Structure formats: structure tokens, C-alpha cells
Structure 1
Amino acid sequence: MNLLVLTSICVVMLLGFSLGKAEDCKISATPPNPGSGCCGSAVGVNKSIPGFYAQLSQYPWIGIIEHQKENKTKLLCSATLISGRYMLSAAQCFGARAQQLGKPANVRLGEYITTNDGPDCVEVDGLQECNDGALKIPIEKVITHPDFHKEHNFQHDIALIRLAQIAPITDFIKPICLPTSDITVEAPQERMWTAGWGAVNDTSSASDRLHHVDLPYVDLDACQAAFNISKNRQIKLRQGQLCAGGEEGKDSCKGDAGGPLMYARGHTTEIVGIVSFGGIPCGKLGVPGVYTKVFAYDAWIRANIED
């Protein structure tokens, strides 16, 4: 998440508030129906934290993937919970380079500060608020899109993670909703959000605390034009991709791959995109970030989900 210019976001939660109690939701491997209150809603998000950090319970669907090799753990990418058993991420997070750094072994859910063991606590309005601490769930298998090739313009940059067990539903762990329509058909007026533990400037490779940034939607033709004149990356965009950003210092960045691009429809938050790639350096004025358009892969997602 590149935030070179943005120094503060005081957020009164624009994404979904909780509409029902977690215990009322019967979570399974199948993605919940939007509007059920069992996806795309967060609880207790009505305050602001100084700076660009997300709130403890603001994005209960975001997890971070652990790659393990020779008893060492590396955190390379994010993933997004879409049901009790499945998460969405980017196919690039499981390619040859990622495998060299370690086997994808676990996903941490309910994570906030990656360097802290146990509950994470922050001070809000003079009071200390804490989460439950990260829950580590083993990865049972990863399904990458069969047509993904990084060298082919990052097309089909999507993967499904099947967890080894059903994730519990808490204030800090809850699935996001899959998109109900194609966000690119009618350009959204509201801004979108992305969050992760990626780089926050040109000298860092990652952040230990979950942060977020708001981004404007960018039409694919305008996005293509930006990359046509870019000096560092010439690429042909396709209909399975969408763009957001282009504002100086506000972007997803290295380490954010696989994370969600989110859009609020009323009280419900949907995952409309998956962080794929962007300009170099991140947060370059006029160069949006590129995301895999989740709606375009709805049939593929559902066809690969098993009870």
C-alpha cells in the first residue's frame, strides 16, 4: 500500500456495518448470499484511528498467507475470505518464484499487527481496544486459474485457497460478499478501498500493521492509455481486469498482491477486484493500479468450490 503523500485518513466507516449477529449465520464452504448479513459487514467500526491504519475490525475478511521453508516463515501476499472454507487471492502468489521462497502453508485470519503474537491492541479515543489475535489455519489446497501466465500481461491472475477447516465467524473473522453485478458497466461514483500489509514507500518492502487507502475507479480505456505512455511498463489490458487509483502516493504496492479491492453497495461490502500489478514506482500520478475483476470469474470460482 503506497501512501507517499497521504498522511492521514480519518475514517467513519464507509464500508458495511453489521446487520445481524454472527451466531445467526450458518457459514459453510458456499459463499453467503449478499444481504444476508453473513458477509460483507463489519462491527464496531465507527471511530477513526490517526494515520492510514485500518481499524481492528474494519476488514474481517482479509488474511495474510504464510509461506514456509526450512523452518522459516515468509509473508508474501494477502487473501480474502469469501466463505467459511475458501479465500480468494492472486495466482502470482503461488507461482514459481513464490514457491522458491516457501510452500504456502497457512493463512492468518483476524490478523492486524504481523509482528505481534497474541491479541493486537490499539488506543482509540484514549481507550485501549484489542482483537482476539490471529488465527492460523492450514491451507488444504490452492487452485490457480489454469490460463494464468505472469508474462502474458497478468491475465487470469486469480486463485482459490481451500482452508483445512471451516473458519469461525467472529467480530474479526467474517467473509466478504462476492460481487452482485459488474462494477464496470456503470462507472461507480463512490470510491473503492484496498487494504493490506504491503510497502508504504519506495524503501520498505512491507508494513507490520494493516493499512488501507481509498481509490477512484478508472475506466479500462483510460487505464490502457496510461500504460501506453508509461516508460516502465507496456502492457495490454483485457476485460477480465479493472483499474483504480492514479492519484499520487495512493496505491496498492509490493506485498499487497492477492488482497481485495472493495466496494460498498449500501451496507454490504463486495470484493470487486484482486490486487494484481501497477506502475513502477507505486503511487505514480496518472498510472492506476490493475486488479483482477472478480465478477468476470464468478462462474470459475463457484465451479471450483466443493462442500
Structure 2
Amino acid sequence: MTVSSNRVFAWSFLLAFGISSTCNAVPEPNGRRVPLVLQRNVESKVSKIVGGYPASEGEVPWQVALYGQFFCGGTLLSSDVVLTAAHCVMSGGQLDTDFKVGYGGLSLLNFPFETAVKQVITHEAYNENTFQNDIALVIFENPVQNFTNLVYPANLPVSHNEDYEGEEVTASGWERLSFEGPQPEQLQAVQLKVSPQESCKNAYMAIVDIGNTMICAGVEEFSKDSCQGDSGGPLVKVIGNYSELIGITSFGVEGCAVQGYPSVYTRVTEYLEWIVDTACAAGSCLEYEYVTDDPCEDGDCTTNGATLNVNHSQLIILQSCIYLFFILVQ
């Protein structure tokens, strides 16, 4: 599979003329930022994993690739629902639904499974200039027939209240290995740490507003990052054998792994209700349970949704007002 030559040319043109000629300019309020230009990978939509490693079989079974006139990553949530970034499927206010989804393998050149797209839904408040609400759902035309250790949906968080600051997380995708470098054939992964929200907000202050719907991650030595190829891909918190999807790769500054600028992800915990409600409205209800913002209002701890869909056999302990225990039997 290849990225459209027209889009590659457009991205190259943007890099050559829209960035290099404005090295000392003051960041503009409309979302065009220089000298540290925000990189959402609108054209090639290819982010890169810097300082990562080739993922092994079954390590990221929820990873999918979206490809057509663009290339992005995504996260499998069920047999027919994928979570990705809105900027992957929308450009210039136009929704792109003419693409396919590949999954079940590590190689970018040969996916064991491929499906056309039935429906694409972006967040109604998505803003291309500010990157707010950079989230979308993709509904498969042909659902996954069987889950295996190579194809398995990710877990959504069970609580709105986690901030994950300082936690070790993993980003993945078919990202470039260096800025403007070659795109790898094999799926890459990188271990990062969730950055303090306030420091990330301060870092991007002159470029874009980092709100509560965003989460930042990087490493202190800035030798690792997600950047061009992983747009729309997963940011996952691993707890033993249990993995929880906490972010969607959204944007960063041009260059990637730039000191002082962690990559920015859409914070999944802020969109749990939107994800569940939107998928169900599209006829693809998720097996999932989340705790309300105030689960113990009036002394009654309540939950919304159906049953929690947990990957692999394990115990989850959720502390919100009481300890809720979920055990998966498969």
C-alpha cells in the first residue's frame, strides 16, 4: 500500500514553503504555528515513533491501519468499531470515507485482514485549528469474525477520574523512525511517561491551548516520541497483563522528540460517554461499563452502559467510592 502521491507532494510542499520560510515568525492564532509548527499529519498523516522498537506478535492486537488517500493508525474497540483521530478522516471540513482498514499483522505491506468502511463519525465539536475534540469512530463494513491473540479489542478506561500523570505508557504505529525519515514496514512501539498537565500546557502556551481533553506524553531525555505515521493510533497504559486505552495520537511540534514539547494525545477518559453513545447510535453498541463523574451522588453508586469488556483473564480493581471487582471469564 502507498500513500497518495498527491498528498505526499502536498505535505512536502507544506513543509518546504509553509514552515521553512517562517522560522522566526510569531505563532498565529489560527492554528498555523511557527517556528515550532504543530504537526497533525493532515496530508500523509504519518507520525513517527522515535526511539522505539519493533512490536512483537500479539503485543498490540488492537492496532489497526487506516489507508487510502492518507495513512493513519487506529484502535479496535469491538468487532466493528475503531477509534481514531478526527484529523485523520477530515481535512478542510471534508469527511473522507474512501479508505480501508487493515489489521491482524505487523507488516504494513501485507495485512491478514482488510475491510471497507461502513461509516465514519467525527466529534461534532472537532476543531481543525485548535485540535480540540480530535476523535472519531470508524465502523467496519465487514466485522472481525474471530478474536485471537493477534486481533483483540482494547479496553476503555472504567473511570473519568484518572489523570495518569507520571505513569508509563506505550504508543504504537507505523511511524517514521526520524523526522522526514523512512516509514518502517513493521509496527513500532515506544514507551513514554505521561507529562504533568501544567508543564505541557505551559510548553504549548504560545502555540495552542492544552485543555483537559488532552493528555501529553514523552520522556525527559526527549529521545523517544510519537510523531509522523502514528496519528490516530493508541496510547496505552499497561497494568500487569491488563492494558487500558488512555489516548489517541493527535499532534506534536515539527521535528518530533523536541526538547520541552511532549506529544499530545486526545484524552480518552473525557470521551467515554461520547464513544459509547455514538457507537450505539450507529448500530454498533459496545460491551462496556463506565462510572459516572459522581457515582455516589445521593449515596447511590451507579454505572452506565452494559457489561465491561476486559481483554484476557484478569481482575480489575476500581476505586471510585467503593471497590468494584470485575472478573472476565472467557
TM-score normalised to structure 1 length: 0.70
Distance 1:66 1:178, change over 3 A: same
Q: CA deviation at 1:192?
A: 0.2
Query: Within 5 Å, which residues of 2 pair with 1:1-307?
Result: 2=48, 6=51, 52-67=53-68, 74-96=69-91, 103-115=97-109, 117=110, 133-151=111-129, 153-167=130-144, 168-182=146-160, 184-185=162-163, 187-188=165-166, 190-204=167-181, 206-228=183-205, 234-247=207-220, 248-305=222-279, 306-307=283-284
Flag structure 1 segments of 5+ consecutive residues without an equivalent. 10-51, 68-73, 118-132
Q: CA deviation at 1:65?
A: 0.6
Distance 1:135 1:94, change over 3 A: same
Q: CA deviation at 1:111?
A: 2.6
Residue correspondences, number: 233
Query: Is 1:184–1:219's contact at 8 Å kept on the other side of the alignment?
Result: no
Q: CA deviation at 1:250?
A: 0.8
The one-letter code matched in structure 1 to 2:98 is P
RCO comparison, higher one (Cα < 8 Å, 6+): 1
2:292 equivalent in structure 1:
none
The one-letter code matched in structure 2 to 1:253 is C
Superposed CA RMSD in Å reads: 2.2
Q: CA deviation at 1:94?
A: 1.0
Cα distance in 1 for partners of 2:223, 2:100 equals: 31
Query: Is 1:105–1:138's contact at 8 Å kept on the other side of the alignment?
Result: yes
Q: CA deviation at 1:75?
A: 5.0
2:25 equivalent in structure 1:
none
Cα distance in 2 for partners of 1:91, 1:300 equals: 14
Distance 1:98 1:89, change over 3 A: farther
Distance 1:204 1:240, change over 3 A: same
TM-score normalised to structure 2 length: 0.66
Q: CA deviation at 1:171?
A: 2.1
Distance 1:98 1:208, change over 3 A: farther
Partner of 1:228: helix, strand, or coil? coil
Q: Percent identity?
A: 29
Partner of 1:77: helix, strand, or coil? strand
